[in-house]
Amino acid sequence: MGSNPTPSARVRVVGELIGVHLEKPEKREENSLQSIRRRALATGVFSSSRAAIKERTLRTDRWWLQPAITFGVLIAFIIYATFRAFEKKYYFTEPLISPFYSPCLSTACLDGSAHFGTPIGTISLFGMVISPALFILIFPLGFRLTCYYYRKAYYRSFWMSPPACAVAEPHKKYTGETRAPLILQNGHRWFFYFGLIFNVILTYDAIIAFKNPEGEWGHMSVGTLILLLNAAMLWLYSASCHTCRHTIGGRLRNFSKHPLRYKMWTWVSALNERHPVYAWISLIVVALTDFYVRLVASGSITNYYFF
Ligand code: FES
């Protein structure tokens, strides 16, 4: 009959079982029963099944560059878009309208910019009329915020969860997208459907841009090309979306009975491979389109007409 192991022997055995090894005898105290228990309960890189490496990463390349660039570009876009959403002017000049304000649906819209009526009327908060942009930006913003690609990009650059492959995150816990608020990311498919409506409206805006400032059809300006480019990039961004791919080719038992959907699925899959590229280009083009409309509407430049 063997004797009961001492508490320190128990600590050592438990430590070995969950992969915690002491490097030097003097660090033995750190591996108290409490710290082992804490490690066994922790998740992510601190969990018991992960190697106990004290360095944050063993990578020697510039792994921080990509998340740093992502952070910089997204912050710049957020600051610019917020400024423009609250500026409430210079977003429309015949026949150009900024994508940040389209569709313009409130009575606070500039004259001629409410192409689809003013069903929202005027809503004020603390005596201030709410910008027409704020009523609609939730849809394109929600579409991008819940995008699978952007999620990866901003989880890495803003949350550092993790900042890069093989670089430990600073968080002690990892709960993924299983609880509020991140569980709301599952709403991406609904934002995708709303995004399609916006694409149709912004394509309509680009077609309207074939008018001249007097409202006559059959003209084309630099603004026309910019609005066309913006609409085209938004369609590419939506068509390459993972939800679009699933909507077209998902939930099928076999493709052989659905040759048309299979064909479309192969096209969308080809676009899907380049989704991150379309995500960045369309984001930058949206901002540049707004900036161009602002320059023209404020009188800083003239919208050059080819014919
Ligand atoms: S996954 Fe990016 S828009 Fe849907």
Q: Which pLDDT score, from 0 to 100, does residue 176 have?
A: 84
Predicted confidence (pLDDT) per residue in 78-103, tens digit:
999 999 999 999 999 999 999 999 99
278 lines ligand 1 (CB under 6 A): no
User: In this structure, are residues 245 and 275 in contact, taking their beta carbons and an 8 Å threshold?
Assistant: no
How many A from CA of 147 to the centre of ligand 1?
4
**pLDDT above 70 covers what percent of the chain?**
85
| Percentage of residues in the chain having pLDDT higher than 90 | 73
Q: Is the pLDDT of residue 63 over 80?
A: yes
**Ligand 1 pocket residue status of 148, Cβ below 6 Å:** yes
**Nearest Cα residue to 262 out of 147, 253, 193, 242:** 253
* Contact 285 CB / ligand 1 (< 6 Å): no
Which whole number is the average pLDDT over 219-236?
A: 98
Residue to mutate, 198, 275, 283, ligand 1, most ligand atoms under 8 Å from C-beta: 275
Q: Residue 275's Cα: distance from chain center in Å?
A: 12
How far apart are the C-alpha atoms of 134 and 14, rounded to whole Å?
56
Nearest atom in ligand 1 to 244's CA: 4
Helix (H) or strand (E) holding 92, with range, is: strand 92-93
Q: Which atom of ligand 1 is nearest to the CA of 143?
A: 3
- What sections of the chain are H helices per DSSP? 7-17, 33-41, 65-87, 132-136, 138-145, 148-154, 188-208, 222-239, 242-249, 259-272, 275-297
CB 227 within 8 A of CB 307: no
The answer to whether the CB of 149 is under 6 A from ligand 1 is yes
Q: Whose CA is nearest to atom 2 of ligand 1?
A: 147
Q: Does 238 or 7 have the greater pLDDT score?
A: 238
**CA-closest candidate to residue 15, choices 55, 2, 54, 38:** 38
Q: Given the CA of residue 279, which atom of ligand 1 is nearest to it?
A: 2
Please, which pLDDT band fits residue 184 given cuts at 50, 70 and 90? Answer: very high
SS3 of residue 97 by DSSP: strand
The answer to which of 123-127, 269-273, 278-282, 295-299 has the lowest mean pLDDT is: 123-127
33-47, 56-70, 165-179, 192-206: least confident range: 33-47
Mean pLDDT of 162-184: 87
- Give me the mean pLDDT over the 240-262 stretch: 95
Give residues with Cβ within 8 angstroms of 129, minimum separation 6: 88, 108, 122, 123
Residue 52 · residue 45 · CB < 8 Å:
no
Closest CA to 145 of 202, 99, 191, 180: 191
Domains of the chain, by residue range, sit at: 7-46, 65-297
Taking the CA of residue 188 as reference, the ligand 1 atom at the shortest distance is: 4
Residue 134 corresponds to which tokens in the numbers above? Answer: 């704020």
The overall average pLDDT reported for the chain is 89
* Per-residue pLDDT tens digits for 38-47: 555 566 666 7
Instruction: At 71, list the tokens.
Output: 């952070």
3-state secondary structure of 3: coil
User: Does any ligand 1 atom lie closer than 6 A to the CB of residue 236?
Assistant: no
- The yes-or-no verdict on residue 36 having pLDDT over 80 is no
| Residue with more model confidence, 61 or 45 | 61
Cα–Cα nearest to 291, from 134, 136, 81: 81
From the CA of 147, give the closest atom in ligand 1: 2
Q: How would DSSP label each residue in 133-198?
A: HHHHTHHHHHHHHT-HHHHHHHIIIII-SSSSTTB--S-S---TTSSTTGGGGGGHHHHHHHHHHH
Mean pLDDT value across residues 213-220: 96
pLDDT tens figures, 17-26: 544 444 455 5
Global confidence as pTM? 0.83
Residues 110-149 pLDDT 10s: 999 999 999 999 999 998 999 999 999 999 999 999 999 9
**pLDDT for the residue numbered 18:** 47
Which residues, other chains included, contact 46 with Cβ-Cβ below 8 Å and sequence gap of 6+?
Answer: 39, 172
Residue 209 binned pLDDT confidence (cut-offs 50, 70, 90): very high
Range name among 174-183, 200-209, 218-227 with the lowest pLDDT average:
174-183
State the average pLDDT over residues 261-284. Answer: 97
